[in-house]
Amino acid sequence: MTTKGQAVPEDAAPTTKPSLSAAAFVVHSRIRVLQEGALANRGAQVAGLARLRRAAGKRPGEITDIFEHTTAAEFTPRSEDRASDEPTAQETAAHIALTLYATHQQSQSERMHQLGPGMGKALRQLLPDGLPEEKIHPVQRRFQALGGVDDVHALAVQLRGLVQLLRAQHICLDYAQLTDELIRWQSDPLGPSKVRLRWGRDFYRATPKKAPTASAQA
């Protein structure tokens, strides 16, 4: 079976590190293990995804039985002031990405994490063929609502609803890329604006699906 928006076959995983931060690469590697295990119905990975799903919407540190997936040396850069017990940007991003992925993969027989398709491109695939330009689709409204969100935890709530829409249509997403975007969202004073701009470019610059012609309908 093929997956909508598929960019890189998962069984052809990169042998060299892709252009990702160290934290995002760890998230990618851990999701691959969970994903392949879940598709093979291995108990440890199925249970791990179930725990991660239960943590979706929770803040880092609230659910302790997922720490094996959501903590790593790469998530706590040495430059961080460890006098603080606040989660780092990397820990928060990894927590959100992994719990969203677990939500996305639930009851799926296809790989919902694939390197390549970002949030904007993935969401664009939810728009139906031949949508009139003057008509605003509900997905567009939900996408536009991201413009009113700056807090990363509020963003995670919004993204959870969008990921559930992607799951319903079997559309995959690059969770490693999302991890880096969530890190940037928190670490750069202009991060939210930059990430939203990237998603907006992908969403609105994608080639529109053409409505069938009269001859094609006949």
pLDDT in tens, the chain (218 residues): 444 444 444 444 444 445 899 999 999 999 999 999 999 999 999 999 999 999 999 999 999 999 999 999 999 976 655 557 889 999 999 999 999 999 999 999 999 999 999 999 999 999 987 777 778 899 999 999 999 999 999 999 999 999 999 999 999 999 999 999 999 999 999 999 999 999 999 998 855 454 443 333 33
Q: Across the chain, how many H-helices and E-strands are there?
A: 10, 0
Q: Which residue has the tokens 């919407």?
A: 57
Reference 27, options 106, 155, 151, 115; nearest CA is 115
Q: How far, in Å, CA of 193 to CA of 211, rounded?
A: 33
Chain center to CA of 129: 24
Q: Which long-range contacts (C-beta less than 8 Å, at least 24 apart) are formed by 198-202? A: 198/118, 198/120, 199/118, 199/119, 199/120, 199/123, 199/143, 199/146, 200/120, 201/120, 202/118, 202/119, 202/120, 202/121, 202/124
pTM: 0.85
CB 187 within 8 A of CB 179: no
**Domains of the chain and CATH, by start:** 19-77+86-127+134-203 (1.10.520.40)
